[in-house]
Amino acid sequence: MEIILNKGQNTNYNHEKSNRFGKTLLLMIFLQTIHTNSGLSVGNDVNFASDTVGLYDKDQFKVDWNTSEPSSQSSHFMINTDPQNTNQKVLNVTCLANQVGGGAGMAFIGPLGGQADYLNLQYDITFPENIDFGKGGKMPGLTSEPDSPSGCIDNDSFDGFSARFMWRADEAPAGQALLQGYIYNPEKIEDCGDYYSSNPPYYIEGGQSYTILQQVYLGDPGISNGYILAWANGTPFLNISNIMLRRSPDIHVDAIHMSLFYGGSDAEEWAPKTDQHIALTNFTVSSPTENDMKSNPLDVATTQYLRKRQSA
């Protein structure tokens, strides 16, 4: 199977590396387990079931995410009953009209209470009917902590990674948005992060809920043998292979980058014209399963690398 890599080179899957990779993963399962009494972790989901409906209580926020609530964003967070399923609750995030960036929506790092080199993240996201997608915005994904790169920085200023997602309305049919990976890694090409998208493309639309599943394998420090996979409602939309995700053995998958905001840097270009309310729930992190290890990650989906500046 031919893969389009981030440096424009073609390669075939190396079976010798596959065998070594599988043995490494087996060892990591036994040696690396995430567990904590509070916050999102393996065995501790965040679904807001015990939270009170209304403005997100700061103490409950700390229990849910194992970090303090950003005071400048607190008015943007509401706990609501899910209108599509009254048996569950959602975190409703308000993204402010005519503004971009985390301060106009949600942006914080939630530690996962431990360290892993291979981890799965899953959550549900619901976009409102008749949403104004603007030009695009960012969604949660796994990251390293405290070295969690973002914000248009040089590669020599960090050793870790962040693997979030973006929606891009400027690259989609009217009323829809392209779903793609948004990656910072030590060999990224663009200062403001690299975009990766599936071929064929995966589009999202308003009034729909999507279950996002992400799988990150860091690979070896300083070596381009990591990968990032993602699915939306069971459909693969991201397969980044042969990528270097860390320089140092001290870097692990140990946090969630909780981003939900518009931008881009130019509000006139990226921001919605009215406040938008986007719902999140059912956050889960898990260790790899036996089926994960048996599958060839390069066979999950074929990925096309898209490279363009964030302001393009």
**Cα 279-180-211 angle, rounded to 5 deg:** 40
CB atoms inside a 10 Å sphere around CB 163? 28
Rounded-to-integer distance, Cα 225 and Cα 218, Å: 8
Task: Kindly report the average pLDDT of the chain as a whole number.
Answer: 83
Q: Check: CB of residue 191 under 8 Å from CB of residue 107.
A: no
Quick: pLDDT tens for 188-214. Answer: 998 888 999 998 999 999 999 999 999
Q: Show Cβ contacts of residue 59 under 8 Å, excluding neighbours closer than 6 positions.
A: none
User: Which of 35-39, 81-85, 216-220 shows the lowest per-residue confidence on average (mean pLDDT)?
Assistant: 35-39
34: exposed, middle or buried (Cβ count in 10 Å: 0-12, 13-18, 19+): buried
Separation of alpha carbons 96 and 278, rounded Å: 11
CB within 8 A of 221, min separation 6: which ones?
246, 247, 248, 249, 251
Residue range 271-281: average pLDDT?
Answer: 98
- pLDDT at residue 18 tops 70: no
For the chain, strand residue ranges (E) read 3-4, 10-11, 54-55, 77-81, 89-95, 106-116, 118-126, 136-143, 162-168, 176-184, 194-198, 203-205, 209-217, 226-232, 235-243, 253-262, 276-286, 303-306
Q: What angle do CA 4, 258, 188 make, to 5 degrees?
A: 30
Q: Say what the pLDDT of residue 17 is.
A: 40
pLDDT at position 2 is 27
pLDDT at 202: 97
More confident residue, 35 or 182: 182
For residue 114, pLDDT beyond 50: yes
Q: Calculate mean pLDDT across residues 217-245.
A: 95
**Tokens 């939309």, residue?**
237
Winning range, highest mean pLDDT, from 158-167, 271-280, 287-296: 271-280
Q: Which CATH architecture has domain 3-306?
A: Sandwich (2.60)
Q: Give me the mean pLDDT over the 228-253 stretch.
A: 94
Distances (CA, A) of 219 to 116, 117, 157, 160: 11, 7, 20, 12
Tell me what the mean pLDDT of segment 279-283 comes to.
97
Predicted confidence at residue 144, as pLDDT, reads 94
Residues whose CB falls within 8 Å of the CB of residue 255, separated by 6 or more in sequence, listed in order? 109, 110, 111, 112, 142, 143, 144, 145, 148
What is the distance between the alpha carbons of residues 158 and 147, in angstroms, rounded to a whole number? 6
Biggest CA pair distance of the chain: 54
pTM of the model: 0.83
What torsion do the CA atoms of 128, 215, 48, 202 make, to the nearest 10 degrees? 10
- Model confidence at 99, pLDDT cuts 50, 70, 90, reads very high
